[in-house]
Amino acid sequence: MRRAYSTAHCTLELPDYHPFPKYKYAGVAEALRDELDVQPAPAIAWEILALAHTPDYLQKLRSEGLSRQESHKVGLPWSQGLLTRALHAAGGTLAATLDALQTGLGLNLAGGTHHAYPGRAEGYCLFNDVAVAIAYLRAQGWDGRVLIVDLDAHQGNGTAAFFRNDPTVFTLSVHAERNYPLKKEPGDLDVGLADATNDAAYLEALEAALEQAFAHRPDLVFYNAGVDVLQNDRFGRLGLSLQGLAERDRMVFEKAKQTDQPLVVVMGGGYNRDPQMTVAGHAQTYRLALEALGKR
To the nearest whole percent, how much of the chain has pLDDT over 70? 100
The reported pLDDT for the residue numbered 294 is 86
Give, to the nearest 10 degrees, the angle between helix 242-259 and helix 275-293: 20
Decide: residue 141, CB within 10 A, 0-12 exposed, 13-18 middle, 19+ buried. Answer: exposed
Question: Residue 224 pairs with which residues in a beta bridge?
Answer: 150, 266
Burial class (CB in 10 A: 0-12, 13-18, 19+), 55: exposed
172 confidence band (pLDDT: 50, 70, 90): very high
Q: What is the pLDDT of residues 60-107, one digit of tens each?
A: 999 999 999 999 999 999 999 999 999 999 999 999 999 999 999 999
Helix (H, G, I), strand (E, B) or coil at 93: helix
Average pLDDT score over residue span 188-195: 98
Are 246 and 230 within 8 A, CB to CB? no
Q: Mean pLDDT of all residues in the chain? A: 97
Q: Which residues, other chains included, contact 295 with Cβ-Cβ below 8 Å and sequence gap of 6+?
A: none
pLDDT above 80 for 50: yes
Mean pLDDT of 164-177: 97
% residues pLDDT > 90 (the chain): 98
- The pLDDT of residue 159 is 98
Beta strands in 36-183 (DSSP E): 37-40, 105-107, 146-150, 169-176
Rounded mean pLDDT of 172-183?
Answer: 96
Q: Is 274 exposed, middle or buried (0-12, 13-18, 19+ CB in 10 A)?
A: exposed
As a whole number of Å, the CA-based R_g of the chain is: 17
**CA 185/CA 33 separation, integer angstroms:** 37
Q: Which amino acid is at 220?
A: L
pLDDT for residue 250: 98
CA distances from 262 to 26, 96, 218, 255 (A): 26, 11, 9, 11
Residue 296 has pLDDT above 90, yes or no: no
Question: How far, in Å, CA of 232 to CA of 236, rounded?
Answer: 8
Q: What is the pTM of this model?
A: 0.98
